[in-house]
A and B are shown apart, each in its own frame.
Chain A
Amino acid sequence: MPSLKDLRNRIASVKATQKITKAMQMVAAAKLRRAQMAAEAARPYAERMGAVLANLAGGSAPGSNAPALLAGNGKNDVHLLLICTAERGLCGAFNSSIVRLAREHATSLMAQGKTVKIICVGKKGYDQLRRQFEKQIIELVDLRSLKQVGFENADEIAKKVITMFEAGAFDVCTIFFSRFQSVIAQFPTAQSLIPAEIPTAAASTGPAASYEYEPGQDEILETLLPRNISIQVFRALLENAASEQGARMSAMDNATRNAGDMIKKQTQLYNRSRQAMITKELIEIISGAEAL
């Protein structure tokens, strides 16, 4: 049976924790709004890019002369996994669920005898994967110092990936991130970067043959494809940022509620034992008086 002082201390500490989780929840809510706005602002560009790309890709024959960034280089031996996670913890299962998806993917690829290379974006994913995939991880991209992910950061990552691809360091590139649905629903997603995933819905915009190209169709496609990769990475990072804040918000909401429950229970226990002590003292006094 803990003493009254112990109970009082415990209640005070839980209350302090609750204050912290409450503050974190509110901060996450504010950040979520910003992240969501950024994700929404980036959407038009990504959509138009997809439409333009679908138009172009539909025009060029799906033969062997399609650019490697679009169709892949025909091989399927070395896989590059770009795993995007958060830089900070305390956001529920956000990081673990992305890592779990990526880990399953990586182990199944390795079981098929394929070579796997991993680039981690975000420290948390790296921490979790480091033990199992020590040899596969080739790089850690640290975005910790940034307040908000800019297009330049995504561009930098994309450039690295493209340089590696051109050097023949891998054949297929997949990006892992968490798609933001709502505050309570984020889905870890795997998307193929190289070869590019072309949205098919935009294919009905009309015949692509009537287009005039300046300079040429192939040159445009060649400049467009690297940019498309930057955009996809950028979009993934933004979605991830929004998901992270959403996940943190609900995790902290849960924590605050749990702390509230605990305070209630402990307070009840404290009051009960205080009452018991008073009763005990009274009995002692009364029985002492009777004995006289």
Chain B
Amino acid sequence: MAAFHFELVSPEKLLFSGSVDSVVVPGSEGEFTVLAQHAPTMAVLRVGVVKVDAGDGKLSQLFVGGGFADISAKGLTILAEKAIPVEELTAARFDADILTSEKEAASAITDEARRLANEKVGQLRDVRATLGL
């Protein structure tokens, strides 16, 4: 399988950089898989899990808390607001995140902000349920 370059960066650090076979990206309008030669795309991400297949049989999963995916001729770059390897995730961490989002929803001034915060709570719960935490 043809490989392409993939980078996952969060504001704090560069989490992943290397050649991969495929990456499943949690787009805001549904998950999609990026392979080599993908058309240049820019997508908004929701809270979810990025699944990376490095091609050597190793599958790594990374939790992202929203962000952007930029697919160009040079490869895929994900700018995540927050990114944590799934193995390091704990239920307590999810609870804290859900709580802050809920607080945000409660203190939101505009309807739009409240809707966004509520959406985030839902997405966080979904991911948590999928991961079985």
Q: A residues bordering B, Cβ < 8 Å?
A: 38, 41-42, 44-45, 48-49, 51-52, 55-56, 150-151, 154, 163, 205-206, 210-215, 217, 219-220, 223-224, 227, 230-231, 234
Query: Which of A45, A150, A151, A210 gathers the greatest number of chain B CB atoms within 10 Å?
Result: A45
- Write out the residue numbers on chain A whose beta carbons fall within 8 Å of the beta carbon of B9: 44-45, 48
Contact with A along B40-62 (1 / 0, CB 8 A): 11111000000000000000000
Chain B 69-105 interface residues, beta-carbon cutoff 8 Å to A:
70, 72-73, 77, 79, 81-82
Q: Are B13 and A214 in contact (CB under 8 A)?
A: no
A44/B44 contact (C-beta < 8 A), A214-B28, A215-B29 known? no
Contact call A220/B68, Cβ cutoff below 8 A? yes
Q: Does B111 contact A (CB under 8 A)?
A: no
Q: Do A210 and B12 have beta carbons less than 8 Å apart? A: no
Report whether A214 and B68 are in contact in the complex, using a CB–CB cutoff of 8 Å.
no
A45 CA to B15 CA, complexed, in Å: 10
Give the shortest distance, in Å, between A155 (CB) and chain B (any CB).
Answer: 8
Q: Which residues of B contact A206 (CB under 8 A)?
A: 72-73
Complex Cα spacing A219 to B42, Å: 11
Q: Find out whether the CB atom of B41 lies under 8 angstroms from the CB atom of A44.
A: no
Please tell me if the beta carbons of A212 and B12 are within 8 angstroms of each other in the complex. no
Report how far A230 CA is from B11 CA in the complex, Å: 10
Cβ contact within 8 Å between B13 and A49: no
Closest A residue to B73 by beta carbon equals: A206
A116 CB to closest chain B CB (Å) equals: 26
Instruction: Return B11 CB to nearest CB of chain A, in Å.
Output: 4
Number of A-B contacts (CB under 8 A): 76
Interface footprint category on B: 20 to 34
| Residues in chain B within 8 A of chain A (CB atoms) | 7, 9-14, 27-29, 39-44, 68, 70, 72-73, 77, 79, 81-82, 109
Are B13 and A48 neighbours in the complex by a CB distance under 8 Å? no
Q: How far is the CB of B87 from chain A (nearest CB, A)?
A: 21
Provide 18 A-B residue pairs closer than 8 Å at the C-beta atoms, listed in order of the A residue: A42-B11, A42-B13, A44-B9, A44-B14, A45-B11, A48-B70, A52-B77, A151-B81, A205-B72, A211-B41, A213-B43, A214-B28, A214-B42, A214-B44, A217-B42, A220-B42, A220-B44, A220-B68
Given contacts A220-B42, A234-B11, 13 further A-B contacts (CB under 8 A): A41-B13, A44-B9, A45-B79, A48-B70, A48-B77, A48-B79, A49-B79, A52-B42, A55-B70, A151-B11, A154-B11, A205-B72, A220-B43
